[in-house]
């Protein structure tokens, strides 16, 4: 019998905590994250780690724009995504090796630069919604729209940010390589930042200016590598209904049917918990026996044991 296979989707707090965007601060955050995950590996769980890259790719785009010239032209968004995948993958490679050695374990860690296929006709391309980069005033955003052609939208009362298309991932180019690595006992870091969005053409894959939601990419990856669990780690231990009211309640065991009802009621915020809930649904519905869990990074080990978190299963599975 093979080991339990878990795809872990890490939130932004796993890489950058607060406003300190220096390499040293982010490395320290990644090292703390690695220590939280190494207990799973020590118990024999096969893990595939995915992560966001929002702050990192936003900062990189600013650096590219600041240095843009004929001699050093700015790189497009898909290339910046690939660059941050490599950077963050390198940090995790070092941090996980360090955490493993602290427990007397020697395992290979393999970061994979990952491409996610999207449909060129996805409606997201005509309705950009994914915010990236820093906040601007309304006047600054208007000036930037005129000078760059980029689209800016107001973001939750905090200012204006550039928004880009966020198409749905239909396939992951490297999933067979990732599955082979896990089958042979290696720890894999993949689909960073949702993966590099590409379209499939007769001549090969071509990158596009977009950002894929990391949780949807993690769900697709978990499906393709035949994982047992998708573990979505965020800032809270559970998903809540009636959040912020006197009737607030944490969800523990729930089903795809129950979550669909809660979504229809508007229980989950579109910019935060709703994508995570939809990704959890996507994986739970992808095959019999598959479980999605949403919880905090600090509770990752307990969540895999079944002690904490919001667990999502097929309703039909529970009725058997």
12 is catalytic: yes
The span from the CA of 196 to the CA of 211, in Å, is: 8
CATH number of 5-117+174-319: 3.40.1160.10
pLDDT at 307: 92
> Which residue among 3, 4, 12, 94 is the active-site one?
12
pLDDT at 320 over 70: no
**pLDDT band per the 50, 70, 90 thresholds, residue 131:** confident
53 is catalytic: no
What integer best gives the mean pLDDT of the chain?
A: 92
89 is catalytic: no
pLDDT at 73: 95
pLDDT at 318: 52
Sign of CA dihedral 215, 107, 55, 192: negative
> Which residue among 58, 81, 133, 214 is the active-site one?
214
pLDDT digits (tens, 9 = 90+) for 7-36: 999 987 789 877 788 999 999 999 999 999
pLDDT at 133 over 80: no
19 is catalytic: no
The span from the CA of 228 to the CA of 311, in Å, is: 13
130 is catalytic: yes
pLDDT at 254 over 90: yes
In the chain, pLDDT over 90 holds for what percent of residues? 80
pLDDT digits (tens, 9 = 90+) for 172-229: 999 999 999 999 999 999 999 999 999 999 999 999 999 999 999 999 999 999 999 9
The span from the CA of 173 to the CA of 116, in Å, is: 6
Beta-bridged to residue 294, according to DSSP, are 232, 310
Q: Which of 198, 320, 217, 224 shows the shortest CA–CA distance to 275?
A: 217
Q: Element (H or E) spanning 138, and its range?
A: helix 138-148
pLDDT digits (tens, 9 = 90+) for 136-172: 999 999 999 998 888 999 987 889 988 899 999 999 9
> Which residue among 81, 130, 192, 256 is the active-site one?
130
pLDDT at 230 over 70: yes
pLDDT at 317: 58
> Which residue among 52, 53, 276, 309 is the active-site one?
276
pLDDT at 279: 97
The span from the CA of 289 to the CA of 4, in Å, is: 12
Structure tokens at 20: 């300190």
* Burial 4-39, CB ≥16 within 10 A → b, else e: ebbbbbbbbbbbbeeeeeeeeebbebbbbbbebbbe
Contact 172, 115 (CB under 8 A): yes
Q: Looking at per-residue confidence, does 149 or 51 come out higher?
A: 51
């Amino acid at each position: 019998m093979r080991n339990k296979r878990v795809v872990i989707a890490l939130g932004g707090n796993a890489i950058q905590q607060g406003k300190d965007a220096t390499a040293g601060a982010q490395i320290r955050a990644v090292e703390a994250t690695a220590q939280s995950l190494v207990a799973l590996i020590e118990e024999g769980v096969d893990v595939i780690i995915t992560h966001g890259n929002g702050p990192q790719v936003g900062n990189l785009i600013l650096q590219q724009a600041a240095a843009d010239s004929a001699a050093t032209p700015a790189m497009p968004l898909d290339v910046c995504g690939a660059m941050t995948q490599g950077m963050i993958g390198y940090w995790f490679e070092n941090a996980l090796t360090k955490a493993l050695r602290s427990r007397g374990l020697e395992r290979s860690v393999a970061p994979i630069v990952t491409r996610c296929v999207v449909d060129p006709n996805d409606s997201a391309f005509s309705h950009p919604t994914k915010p990236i980069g820093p906040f601007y005033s309304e006047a600054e955003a208007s000036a930037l729209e005129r000078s760059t052609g980029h689209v800016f939208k107001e973001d939750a009362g905090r200012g204006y940010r550039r928004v880009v298309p966020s198409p749905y991932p239909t396939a992951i180019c490297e999933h067979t390589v990732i599955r082979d690595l896990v089958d042979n006992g290696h720890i894999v870091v993949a689909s960073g930042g949702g993966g590099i969005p590409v379209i499939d053409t007769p001549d090969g894959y071509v990158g596009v200016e977009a950002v894929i939601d990391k949780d949807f990419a993690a769900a697709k990856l978990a499906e393709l590598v035949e994982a047992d669990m998708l573990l979505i780690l965020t800032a809270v231990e559970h998903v809540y209904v009636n959040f912020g009211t006197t009737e607030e309640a944490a969800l523990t065991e729930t089903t795809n049917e129950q979550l669909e009802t809660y979504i229809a009621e508007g229980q989950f915020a579109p910019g935060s918990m709703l994508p995570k809930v939809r990704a959890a649904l996507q994986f739970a519905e992808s095959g019999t026996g598959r479980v999605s869990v949403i919880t905090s990074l600090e509770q990752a080990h307990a969540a895999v044991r079944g002690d904490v978190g919001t667990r999502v299963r097929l309703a039909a599975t529970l009725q058997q």
